[in-house]
Amino acid sequence: MLSLKVALWSVVITLPLGVLTAWVLARKNFYGHALLNGVVHLPLVLPPVVIGFFLLAMLGRQGPVGSFLHDVFGITVAFTWQGAAIASAIMAFPLMVRAIRLSIENVDTGLEAAARTLGASPFRVFYSITLPLISPGILAGVVLAFARSLGEFGATITFVSNIPGETRTLPLAIFSLVQTPGGEAGALRLVVLSIILALAALLFSEYLARRTKQRIEG
Partner 1 sequence: MLELSLNHRFEEFRIELEFQAKVASITSLFGRSGTGKTSVINMIAGLTTPDSGFVKVGDDVLFDSSKGINVPPEKRRLGYIFQDSRLFPHMDVRGNLLYGSKMVPPNGQEITFERVVDILQIGNLLDRKTSNLSGGERQRIAIGRALLSQPRLLLMDEPLASIDAQLRSEILPFIEELRDTFGLTVLYVSHAIDEVIRLADKMVLLDKGIKEAEGDVEEIMSRLDLHPLTGRFDAGAVLSTRVADYDEDYDLTSLAFSGGVLRVTGVQLQPSTPVRAHIRARDVSLMLARPEGTSILNVFEGQIMEVGDEGGPQLDLKIDIGSPLIARVTRKSFNDLGLGVGKNVFAMIKAVAIDRRSLGGQR
| Interface residue list for partner 1 (CB under 8 A) | 108, 110-111, 113-121, 124, 128-129, 132-133, 215-218
Q: How far apart are CA 35 and CA 67, in angstroms?
A: 28
Closest to partner 1 by CB, 41 vs 116, is 116
Closest to partner 1 by CB, 108 vs 206, is 108
Taking phi over 0 as left and psi of -120 to 50 as alpha, with beta for the rest, 79 belongs to left
Smallest distance, partner 1 to C-beta of residue 130, A: 10
Smallest distance, partner 1 to C-beta of residue 122, A: 8
Closest to partner 1 by CB, 30 vs 73, is 30
Smallest distance, partner 1 to C-beta of residue 17, A: 24
Smallest distance, partner 1 to C-beta of residue 134, A: 10
Closest to partner 1 by CB, 124 vs 189, is 124
Closest to partner 1 by CB, 68 vs 127, is 127
Quick one: three-class SS letters along the chain?
CHHHHHHHHHHHHHHHHHHHHHHHHHHCCCCCHHHHHHHHHHHHHCCHHHHHHHHHHHHCCCCHHHHHHHHHHCCCCCCCHHHHHHHHHHHHHHHHHHHHHHHHHHCCHHHHHHHHHCCCCHHHHHHHHHHHHHHHHHHHHHHHHHHHHHHCCHHHHHHHCCCCCCCCCHHHHHHHHHHCCCCHHHHHHHHHHHHHHHHHHHHHHHHHHHHHHHHHHC
Smallest distance, partner 1 to C-beta of residue 66, A: 44
Side chain identity at residue 146, one-letter code: F
Q: How far apart are CA 77 and CA 172, in angstroms?
A: 18
Closest to partner 1 by CB, 35 vs 118, is 118
Smallest distance, partner 1 to C-beta of residue 117, A: 4
